[in-house]
Chains A and B, each alone.
Chain A
Amino acid sequence: MRFLGRRLAALVLLGIGITFVAFVLTELVPGDPAAANLGQRAIADPAAVQAFREHYGLDKPLPVQYVLYLEHLASGDLGQSEQSHRPVRTDLSEFVPATAELAVTSILIAFVLGISLGILSAVRRNRLTDQVLRVISLGGISMPVFWLALVALYVFFFKLGWVPGSGRLDPGVLPAPHVTGLYTVDALLAGQFDVFVSAAQHLILPACVLAAYNVGLLTRFTRSAVLEVINNDYVQAARAKGMPERTVVLRHVLRAALPPIITVGGLAFANVMTGTVLVESIFAWPGIGQYAFHSATTLDLPAIMGVSLFVAVVYIVVNFVVDILYGVVDPRIRVA
């Protein structure tokens, strides 16, 4: 409980720190939100500019703006976005699930493939399988994601027709009633299987593209972690007892190798949740990455603040979960 309390306190402090830094940095940028959001005529109309500044509170001194922001934040109000004209909280509730659906699917693919291939690579160390997998994993890490996304779209949608094109659903297909914001889950909850199929079809390719980097990363980390323990005495003892090699690897080797894999996996998940802008752009996926990009380019301060807070929360929560998982897989950490 103390650990949890410390983490929550850190979350609040970090959140306040993030909002402060974002406020100051946005003020330092030599641009004007009114100029970025109003049209070429409206910006020349003092009444329109004044109305814009008053509406978004930009007519007040920065410290006052910041204090007001914190006051509203305390009641869960993240302000109104200058680009979408909606509450930032409403925007986030729409965009975060879109990215989460993509990120969770992607990270599941990455974990399954990355850990499996990493173990295989370690078990067959320096053999042809290992060498091929090392080259493939290096490719996964090295390939620019926007290039991979375009090539994947071209090959699997345009040439082969195995998957549909961009977007979260086929044109004209409406999402199921909003429950979680995850289209696949909401469709299943509503019993709309056709919507589920459409959502799953649209999800698979961007998720695989997004997973490519992490598959490579996890393959290499898993291989390295497994090799560190695969010849330890207790592993040899397990073999000497006559345990099948599969059991030895999965029960004794992988368990000992898991902590560093969990660390990397946690960071990979946080990165995927917060760094999907290129994949989202190419696959027309309306997620938090695109929202963050548009917010930054239009100096949409409330949205920038909302996204910054979201990113901070993701990293804190992921680190927290990783710490908990350490205890689950390694009793020595749990006792400590």
Chain B
Amino acid sequence: MAAVSRPRNIVLTSLVVAVAAVLAACGGGSNTPTNHVLVVDKSFDMKTADPQREFEVSGGIVAKALYSTLLTFKGSDSATPVPLVASSYTASSDAKTFTFKLRSDIKFSDGTTLTSADVVFSFNRLINIKGNPSFLLSGITVSAPDASTVVLTSSTANPAIPFIIPNPALGIVNSKVVKAHGGTDQPGADKSDTAEAFLNTTSEGSGPYTLKSFSTTSEVDLTANPSYFGAKPFYNTVVIRNIQAPTQLIDIQKGSNEIAIDLSSDQAATLSGNSSLQVKASPGPNVFFLLANDNPKISRITPNKHFQNAIRYSLDYASYVQLAGAGAIQTPGVVPSMFLGALTPADDAQFDLTKAKAELAASGISNPTVNLGFPSDFTLNGISFSTLAQKVQANLQAAGITVNLTGSPISTALADYRAGTEQLGLWLWGPDYPDPNDYLVFLPGQLVGLRAGWAAGADPSLEALGVQASSSTDNTARGHLFQQIQRQLNTDGPFFPLIQPGQVVVATKGVTGADYNPTWTIDVAGAGG
């Protein structure tokens, strides 16, 4: 008898719980956000809220809101750094010394005044933690002659510094409080700094918001900083939620005061007739490119310059743009269209199958077969690398080149790419900072150049141009030099720039200022209603 009644009791109890849950659910979202809450939907790559350790898209959004930087950009602009914590700055004529004068009215969220000591601590901490963003200040020494002056001294000419400084990873922390919680800026900080856990619970910055709650997997809640020195943000509370793109597409159509920033161009196209939403699609800063390895030990085929030209002419660039959807453009060079030194559409590579076949014949290689490596599980801006790779395979097949697709999951494909062992590779470069110096990596002997088997000394004239461009202090001259570099890359280099995919930002009607910026994606403090 008892044995029978137990399951029955379980069933009855379960029924009661289920009914209670259903009844509770029938309220249908009674706690929907009120008007002072801004909701940002983002597929998280979040690791930390510690500004000196974060270098992910999600982390950049959070750090931008919590911490102020010496310089910043306005809205979607990334060409003109403007003062923020600094009242002004000067650069030496050799672009090795940059002097920043600080404002005196800036306070951290606990009321402490921000001084040059906090800047020095934050920057040295970034350098000595040896984390993802540490390279931003590589070769730079930070000093403070007085409480309101900070001097950055570079071992080599570095005109990109004003473009690097606005990065949220260079957000200034309250040095006294962070030190008190295990932070250090001394050499060895990679082992001895223990402040990350603290900074994941409490923000110690002077930005427009303070941290209310932080989770790397569900959501980050921010609340307005009453001590903020700038204009009070419109939204008192910001909730940044970890939501995948398909769900963002549904959520944004029901939301209010909401921004979605991971929708693909195709997904955004389904919203075009929705009058309650604003859809902005513009060329994003990521450059997708193909490489042919120049190292004869990796392939006897791909270093052949005629073979490389055959690839260049066989790619149907317009079809890649079409595949990428709204906002996408063909990229004429490796520097994206919104940065100094970008090429114009007049420099676009042209699809010409006849020329491709002629170049292949001139290469002296008959029926070539090569392997194409790519991250098979990776999708960015709604574009799957597997789909792109199939398109490359079809294009090259039409010219007489057989391509074996040898894609693998990104964690393993990256190893081959970074080791420079791919015959052909399909990859992207995202900007670390909005300056063409970040694209010198494509030159011989540099980071990406080596991945394409392009060793130092392979093209002395191009390398000399790179040295000249990286040290020039005149931005106009730098722009021309980078254009010259890219034109030469397009004729002599082993790289084939394909597209800049569109960057889509969707906001509900009434939300203003939801502008995409390559350095921090979205500035939630800039959003209005």
Contacts and interface: CB of A to CB of B under 8 A. Distances in A.
Interface of A: 29-32, 35-36, 38-45, 47-48, 50-51, 54-55, 83-86, 94-95, 105, 108-109, 111-112, 115-116, 150, 153-154, 157-158, 161-174, 194, 196-198, 200-201, 203-205, 207, 250-251, 254-255, 258, 281-284, 286, 290-291, 297-299, 328-329, 331
Interface residues of B, number: 77
Nearest to B412: A31
Nearest to A113: B18
A167 B219 contact: yes
13 contacts: A42-B132, A45-B130, A50-B130, A54-B191, A108-B14, A109-B18, A150-B250, A168-B218, A172-B239, A204-B22, A205-B25, A207-B21, A297-B410
Interface in B235-263: 237, 239, 241-244, 246-247, 250-251, 253-255
A38 B21 contact: no
Contacts of B237: 172
B155 interface: no
A291 B197 contact: no
A38 B410 CA distance: 13
Interface in B71-108: none
Which among A35, A111, A168 has the highest number of chain B CB atoms within 10 Å?
A: A35
Given A32-B415, A85-B53, A164-B29, A158 B47 contact: no
Contacts of A163: 25, 28-29
Given A35-B411, A35-B418, A172-B221, A166 B243 contact: yes
Nearest to A35: B414
A144 B442 CA distance: 44
Contacts of B411: 29, 31-32, 35-36, 297-299
Interface of B: 1, 3-4, 6-8, 10-11, 14-15, 17-18, 20-22, 24-34, 37, 39, 47-48, 53, 55, 130-135, 138, 190-191, 196-197, 200, 212-213, 215-219, 221, 237, 239, 241-244, 246-247, 250-251, 253-255, 377, 409-412, 414-415, 418, 429-430, 432, 447
Contact of A194 (B10, B31, B430): B31
A150 B248 CA distance: 11
Given A36-B411, A161-B254, A171-B241, A282 B135 contact: no
A49 B122 CA distance: 21
Nearest to B13: A108
Which 4 A-B pairs rank lowest in CB-CB distance, beginning with the nearest? A200-B24, A164-B29, A204-B25, A170-B31
Given A162-B28, A172-B33, 20 more contacts: A31-B414, A36-B410, A40-B429, A42-B55, A42-B135, A48-B135, A51-B191, A54-B190, A84-B216, A108-B14, A108-B18, A153-B247, A158-B250, A165-B29, A169-B31, A171-B33, A197-B31, A283-B247, A286-B242, A298-B411
B27 A197 contact: yes
B244 A284 contact: yes
A205 B447 CA distance: 48
A3 to B, nearest CB: 19
B409 A42 contact: no
Given A85-B196, A163-B29, A331-B3, A45 B135 contact: yes
Which among A169, A171, A201, A298 has the highest number of chain B CB atoms within 10 Å?
A: A171
A106 to B, nearest CB: 10
Nearest to B218: A286
A144 to B, nearest CB: 14
A161 B28 contact: yes
Contacts of A290: 217
A196 B3 contact: no
B31 A198 contact: yes
Contact of B130 (A47, A161, A170): A47
A258 B7 contact: yes
Contact of A284 (B26, B243, B412, B430): B243
Nearest to A46: B130
A170 B246 CA distance: 19
Nearest to A172: B37
A112 B18 contact: yes
A162 B26 contact: yes
A326 to B, nearest CB: 11
A52 to B, nearest CB: 8
Contacts of B377: 297
A47 B129 CA distance: 10
Given A30-B412, A40-B429, A150 B253 contact: no
A171 B197 contact: no
A40 B430 contact: yes
A41 B216 contact: no
A158 B239 contact: no
A120 to B, nearest CB: 13
Contacts of B24: 196-197, 200-201, 204
